[in-house]
């Protein structure tokens, strides 16, 4: 019985490590938003985009804003989209 618990623990631990995405920052600008098609995609879904200072993100999350990530499922990386001055791209579903 103990062996089975050890086996399950090991499998669960390995699975958890596999499912965790590493996080990076990707420096972008407004031109990239247009060329990549991200802005058009968000407009089609009626989602508003804005830039926010990193220290204001927590207060904006209470208002319904979320940080925008570019996700690479194959490499298991999610990239936070950041401008040259450190501001972070955020989104909010419009009503």
Q: What pTM does this model have? A: 0.77
Q: What is the pLDDT of residue 12?
A: 62
Contact predicate 51/90, CB 8 Å: yes
Across all residues in the chain, what is the average pLDDT? Answer: 87
Using DSSP's 3-state secondary structure scheme, residue 4 falls into: helix
39-to-32, 34, 45, 77 alpha-carbon distances in Å: 9, 6, 10, 21
Phi, psi of 65 (to 5 degrees): -80, 150
Digit-coded pLDDT (tens) for 34-64:
999 999 999 999 999 999 999 999 999 999 9
E strands along the chain, which residues? 22-27, 47-52, 66-67, 69-72, 77-82, 88-93
């Amino acid at each position: 019985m103990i062996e089975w618990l050890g086996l399950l623990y090991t499998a669960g631990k390995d699975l958890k490590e596999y499912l965790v995405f590493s996080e990076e920052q990707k420096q972008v600008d407004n031109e990239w938003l247009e060329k990549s098609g991200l802005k058009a995609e968000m407009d089609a879904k009626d989602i508003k985009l804005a830039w926010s200072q990193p220290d204001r993100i927590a207060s904006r999350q209470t208002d319904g804003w979320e940080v925008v990530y570019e996700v690479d499922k194959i490499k298991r990386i999610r990239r936070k989209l950041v401008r040259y001055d450190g501001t972070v791209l955020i989104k909010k579903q419009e009503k």
